[in-house]
Chain A
């Protein structure tokens, strides 16, 4: 009984540690904000056609 309780406590501790590590990894990237290349990309595109054209261009560049 006492053993089971201790086990549950340790498990909760591990789960909270995993949650913390996962968010730390993720938030590290979120804190970097918006890289210039994406800000420029979104500003530059004047509409869906421009975006579609750029997708076609990218696809052609691939093998």
Chain B
């Protein structure tokens, strides 16, 4: 369809979540913004192939995901850059404890295989249905479901099982400890 003003607005409205997706995938703020820029250019260059009334965010996410994939094959991620650059993209620096917890989470996420990481982000953070996520990744719905499940188990093992002693007395544990009376 032609590039109408309302379509421009809709594309612009998707930019915040495209950035969040790009940063979650790449772990690198600068690279994420380059990916978003390239996604926008390609989306507008190919706007004639967008079906009016279809899911615009899913279409844009598909472009970004494919760009990331082809770029990934060319050069491995610069893992050492990830934490520093990502932290710089945050508007407000989290408090110390929250920051440590955040870094741990980011590191664990980086350890997931790429297929599982993208499936988990699309479903668990971007809020896409399993069907939309499957369309974005070009695979079956069942495949997305199993990737999301494997991603969750792996994160839980990395964050909470290996370091079980780090699992502080949160509400559930307190409830268990305190719930043996009566």
Binding site for B on A (CB under 8 A): 6, 9-11, 13-15, 17-19, 21-35, 37-39, 41-43, 45-48, 50-52, 54-55, 58
Contacts and interface: CB of A to CB of B under 8 A. Distances in A.
Interface of B: 2-3, 8, 11-12, 15-17, 19-21, 23-24, 33, 36-38, 40-48, 89-91, 101-102, 105-106, 109, 120-121, 124-126, 152, 155-156, 159-160, 170, 172-173, 176
Contacts of A37: 33, 37
Given A15-B156, A29-B23, A38-B15, A21 B101 contact: yes
A42 B24 contact: no
Contacts of A17: 160
Interface of B is mostly: helix
Contacts of A33: 16
A59 to B, nearest CB: 10
Contacts of B124: 19, 22-23
B12 A29 contact: no
B44 A45 contact: yes
